[in-house]
Amino acid sequence: MIGSAIVVAAPPAVALDNGLAQTPAMGFNNWNSTHCRAEFSEQMVRGIADLFVSRGLKDAGYNYVNIDDCWAEPTRDGSGNLVPNRTRFPNGIKAVADYVHGKGLKFGLYTSAGTKTCDTQGFPGGIGHERQDANLFASWGVDYLKYDNCGDHLGQSAQQRYTAMRDALVATGRPILFSICEWGSNSPWDWAQPVGNSWRTTDDIQDNYGSMLNIFKSNVQRSTDSQRGAWNDPDMLEVGNGGMTDTEYRSHFTLWSMMNAPLLIGSDLRTASAATYAILTNRDVIALDQDSLGVQGTEIGNANGLHVLTKPLDNGDVAVALFNENGSAATISTTVAAAGIGNATSYRLTDLWSKAVTTTSGTITASVPAHGTVVYRVARTGTFSTPPAGTTQASALRPSLAGNAWGPVETDRSNGEKAGGDGRTLTIGGTTYARGIGVHARSEVRYYLGGRCTSFQAWVGLDDEVGDNGTVTMEVWGSGRQLANSGVVRGADGAKRVTADVTGQQYVNLAVLPTADGARYDHADWADATFTCA
Ligand code: GLA
**Distance, CA 296 to ligand 1 centroid (Å)?**
24
The pLDDT score that the predictor gives to residue 519 is: 63
Report the alpha-carbon distance of residue 406 to residue 524 in Å, rounded: 11
Q: How does residue 224 score in pLDDT terms, banded at 50, 70 and 90?
A: confident
**Distance, CA 50 to ligand 1 centroid (Å)?**
25
Report the alpha-carbon distance of residue 374 to residue 386 in Å, rounded: 32
Angle subtended by helix axes 92-102 and 130-140, to nearest 10: 50
CA distances from 12 to 16, 307, 474, 513, 518 (A): 11, 35, 11, 10, 15
- The pLDDT mean for the chain works out to 95
The DSSP H or E segment spanning 218 is helix 209-219
**Distance, CA 181 to ligand 1 centroid (Å)?**
8
User: Quick count: other Cβ atoms within 10 Å of Cβ 376?
Assistant: 25
Report the alpha-carbon distance of residue 456 to residue 144 in Å, rounded: 42
- For strands 198-200 and 471-478, give the pairing: unpaired
pLDDT tens figures, 193-218: 999 999 999 999 999 999 999 999 99
Q: How does residue 17 score in pLDDT terms, banded at 50, 70 and 90?
A: confident
Ligand 1 atom at minimal distance to the Cα of residue 117: 12
**Distance, CA 117 to ligand 1 centroid (Å)?**
8
- Is 181 close to ligand 1, i.e. is its CB under 6 Å away? yes
Ligand 1 atom at minimal distance to the Cα of residue 146: 10
Q: How does residue 13 score in pLDDT terms, banded at 50, 70 and 90?
A: very low
For 183-197, what is the mean pLDDT? 95
- At 333, give phi and psi (nearest 5°): -135, 150
CA nearest to 281, candidates 269, 297, 291, 293: 269
CA distances from 314 to 67, 145, 445, 479 (A): 33, 29, 11, 10
User: Which is more confident, 94 or 8?
Assistant: 94
- Is 238 close to ligand 1, i.e. is its CB under 6 Å away? no
For 465-488, give one letter per residue: b (16+ CB within 10 A) or e: bbeebbbbbbbbbbeeebbbbbbb
**Distance, CA 41 to ligand 1 centroid (Å)?**
17
Report the alpha-carbon distance of residue 377 to residue 522 in Å, rounded: 28
Ligand 1 atom at minimal distance to the Cα of residue 236: 9
Q: Hey, whose CA ends up nearest to atom 5 of ligand 1?
A: 118
Q: Which residues are identified as catalytic?
A: 148, 204
pLDDT tens figures, 326-346: 999 999 999 999 999 999 999
The pLDDT score that the predictor gives to residue 123 is: 98
- Is 118 close to ligand 1, i.e. is its CB under 6 Å away? yes
- Is 119 close to ligand 1, i.e. is its CB under 6 Å away? yes
For 494-515, what is the mean pLDDT? 95
DSSP per residue, 22-35: SS--EEEESHHHHT
The pLDDT score that the predictor gives to residue 517 is: 64
Indicate the pTM of the whole model. 0.92
Question: Is the pLDDT at 232 greater than 70, yes or no?
Answer: yes
Return the best residue to mutate from 112, 204, 211, 264 for the ligand 1 pocket (most ligand atoms within 8 A of CB). Answer: 204
Question: Is the pLDDT at 497 greater than 60, yes or no?
Answer: yes
Report the alpha-carbon distance of residue 327 to residue 286 in Å, rounded: 26
The pLDDT score that the predictor gives to residue 278 is: 98
Question: Is the pLDDT at 11 greater than 80, yes or no?
Answer: no
Return the best residue to mutate from 29, 33, 118 for the ligand 1 pocket (most ligand atoms within 8 A of CB). Answer: 118
Q: How does residue 1 score in pLDDT terms, banded at 50, 70 and 90?
A: very low
Report the alpha-carbon distance of residue 377 to residue 320 in Å, rounded: 7
Question: Is the pLDDT at 419 greater than 50, yes or no?
Answer: yes
Instruction: Spell out the residues 6+ positions from residue 354 whose beta carbon is closer than 8 angstroms to its own.
Output: none
- Is 526 close to ligand 1, i.e. is its CB under 6 Å away? no
Q: How does residue 14 score in pLDDT terms, banded at 50, 70 and 90?
A: low
For 173-210, give one letter per residue: b (16+ CB within 10 A) or e: ebebbbbbbbbbebebbebbbbbbbbbbbbeebbbebe
- Is 203 close to ligand 1, i.e. is its CB under 6 Å away? no
The pLDDT score that the predictor gives to residue 268 is: 98
The pLDDT score that the predictor gives to residue 480 is: 80
The pLDDT score that the predictor gives to residue 8 is: 34
The pLDDT score that the predictor gives to residue 518 is: 59
pLDDT tens figures, 55-72: 999 999 999 999 999 999
Question: Is the pLDDT at 9 greater than 80, yes or no?
Answer: no
Report the alpha-carbon distance of residue 364 to residue 403 in Å, rounded: 17
Q: Hey, whose CA ends up nearest to atom 9 of ligand 1?
A: 204
pLDDT tens figures, 118-176: 999 999 999 999 999 999 999 999 999 999 999 999 999 999 999 999 999 999 999 99
Ligand 1 atom at minimal distance to the Cα of residue 68: 10
For 97-109, what is the mean pLDDT? 98
Q: What percent of the chain has pLDDT over 70?
A: 97
- Give the three-state DSSP class for 313: coil
Cα 276–Cα 281–Cα 286 angle in degrees, nearest 5: 125
Report the alpha-carbon distance of residue 308 to residue 46 in Å, rounded: 40
**Distance, CA 114 to ligand 1 centroid (Å)?**
13
The DSSP H or E segment spanning 247 is helix 246-258
Q: How does residue 479 score in pLDDT terms, banded at 50, 70 and 90?
A: confident
pLDDT tens figures, 241-269: 999 999 999 999 999 999 999 999 999 99
pLDDT tens figures, 350-369: 999 999 999 999 999 999 99
Q: What percent of the chain has pLDDT over 90?
A: 94
Count Cα atoms within 13 angstroms, Cβ side, for 271. 9
Q: Hey, whose CA ends up nearest to atom 1 of ligand 1?
A: 118
Question: Is the pLDDT at 4 greater than 60, yes or no?
Answer: no
Is 497:459 a contact under the CB 8 Å cutoff?
A: yes
**Distance, CA 431 to ligand 1 centroid (Å)?**
51
Radius of gyration of the chain (CA): 24
- Is 409 close to ligand 1, i.e. is its CB under 6 Å away? no
Question: Is the pLDDT at 187 greater than 70, yes or no?
Answer: yes
3-state secondary structure 464-496: HHHCCCCEEEEEEEECCEEEEEEEEEECCCCCE
Report the alpha-carbon distance of residue 85 to residue 198 in Å, rounded: 27
User: Quick count: other Cβ atoms within 10 Å of Cβ 389?
Assistant: 11
Q: Hey, whose CA ends up nearest to atom 11 of ligand 1?
A: 118
Q: Hey, whose CA ends up nearest to atom 3 of ligand 1?
A: 204
